[in-house]
């Protein structure tokens, strides 16, 4: 099924509608950010995340924000400390992505006027994150949860809330998750890992975009 999003779309929802693939550039260096970000944007990606356990992550976020058009949202991942949120904003970040669902981090992100995507693994965590202000739900780790859990959650999570499996997603696995009701995907080492050239990332990006368009044909002209 295609992503179900609110009528009055936020910038994050607009980006998800265009392409629900989130590039996770764990380990990227600032000197690589522009080249890798450019090939991802050209392939159709509209959300890019730099985890904070990368080398100089705020500088990479700054480089991506300066290099890419404004319809591409740039965010920080593996955000564990609410105190870092103002620094993310100053670097040009617009999204906070978390491996967990700490309400303090969610509220700090929202107070800084950023979108927030917490990691959740149970319905209890999911509804608590939404109550704290989460914009979408990062289902993590996707390898452990699987499409069956996505389908079960889709029956109880409000339809306008995007469910985004993260962890071990490949082009081949997107179709089954899509049938279960996933709205988008966080892509890690199958898309980018340290040492890859921009050309290698571009090839991986094209494979993911092709899988996305096949699974979500209604977005074919937008991605």
| Across 6-15, 31-40, 67-76, 204-213, least confident range | 6-15
Rounded to an integer, what distance in angstroms lies between the CA atom of residue 76 and that of residue 33? 13
User: 210 pLDDT band (50/70/90 cuts)?
Assistant: very high
| Burial group, residue 131, by CB count within 10 angstroms (0-12, 13-18, 19+) | exposed
**49 included as an active-site residue:** yes
Q: What is the pLDDT of residue 219?
A: 67
Q: What is the pLDDT of residue 8?
A: 64
What ranges do the domains of the chain cover? 14-213
User: 9 pLDDT band (50/70/90 cuts)?
Assistant: confident
Peptide bond into 188 cis (omega under 30): no
- pTM to 2 decimal places: 0.93
Cβ atoms 4, 172 nearer than 8 A: no
> pLDDT tens for residues 119-146?
999 999 999 999 999 999 999 999 999 9
Give yes or no for residue 194 having a pLDDT over 80. Answer: yes
Catalytic residue among 32, 59, 138, 193: 138
Please, what is the Cα angle at 177 between 173 and 179, to 5 degrees? 120
> pLDDT tens for residues 138-176?
999 999 999 999 999 999 999 999 999 999 999 999 999
Rounded to an integer, what distance in angstroms lies between the CA atom of residue 196 and that of residue 144? 27
Q: Which CATH number fits domain 14-213: 3.40.50.1820, 3.30.450.20, 3.20.20.70, 3.40.50.300?
A: 3.20.20.70
Rounded to an integer, what distance in angstroms lies between the CA atom of residue 187 and that of residue 25? 9
Looking up tokens 């939404």 gives 130
Catalytic residue among 6, 42, 49, 110: 49
Mean pLDDT of 17-44: 97
**138 included as an active-site residue:** yes
Mean pLDDT of 208-213: 97
User: 221 pLDDT band (50/70/90 cuts)?
Assistant: very low
Nearest to 52 by CA among 83, 21, 73: 83
Q: What is the pLDDT of residue 218?
A: 79
Rounded to an integer, what distance in angstroms lies between the CA atom of residue 50 and that of residue 22? 10
| Across 1-15, 66-80, 156-170, least confident range | 1-15
Rounded to an integer, what distance in angstroms lies between the CA atom of residue 140 and that of residue 38? 27
Q: Mention every residue, 6+ apart, whose C-beta is less than 8 A from residue 114.
A: 75, 85, 88, 89, 93, 94, 95, 96
Task: Supply the mean pLDDT for the chain.
Answer: 94
């Amino acid at each position: 099924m295609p992503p179900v999003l609110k009528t009055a779309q936020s910038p994050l929802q607009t980006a998800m509608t265009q392409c629900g693939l989130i590039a996770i550039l764990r380990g990227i260096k600032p000197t690589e950010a522009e080249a890798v970000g450019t090939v991802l944007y050209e392939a159709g990606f509209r959300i890019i995340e730099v985890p904070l356990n990368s080398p100089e992550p705020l500088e990479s976020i700054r480089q991506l924000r300066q290099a890419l058009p404004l319809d591409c949202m740039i965010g920080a991942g593996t955000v564990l400390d609410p105190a870092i949120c103002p620094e993310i904003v100053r670097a040009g970040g617009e999204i906070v992505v978390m491996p967990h669902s700490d309400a303090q981090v969610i509220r700090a992100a929202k107070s800084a006027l950023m979108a927030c995507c917490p990691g959740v693994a149970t319905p209890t965590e999911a509804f608590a994150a939404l109550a704290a202000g989460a914009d979408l739900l990062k289902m993590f780790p996707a390898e452990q949860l699987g499409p069956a859990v996505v389908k079960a959650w889709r029956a109880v999570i409000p339809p306008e809330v995007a469910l985004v499996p993260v962890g071990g997603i490949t082009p081949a696995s997107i179709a089954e998750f899509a049938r279960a009701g996933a709205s988008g995907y966080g892509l890690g080492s199958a898309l980018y890992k340290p040492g890859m050239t921009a050309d290698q990332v571009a090839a991986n990006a094209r494979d993911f975009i092709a899988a996305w368009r096949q699974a979500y044909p209604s977005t074919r002209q937008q991605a």
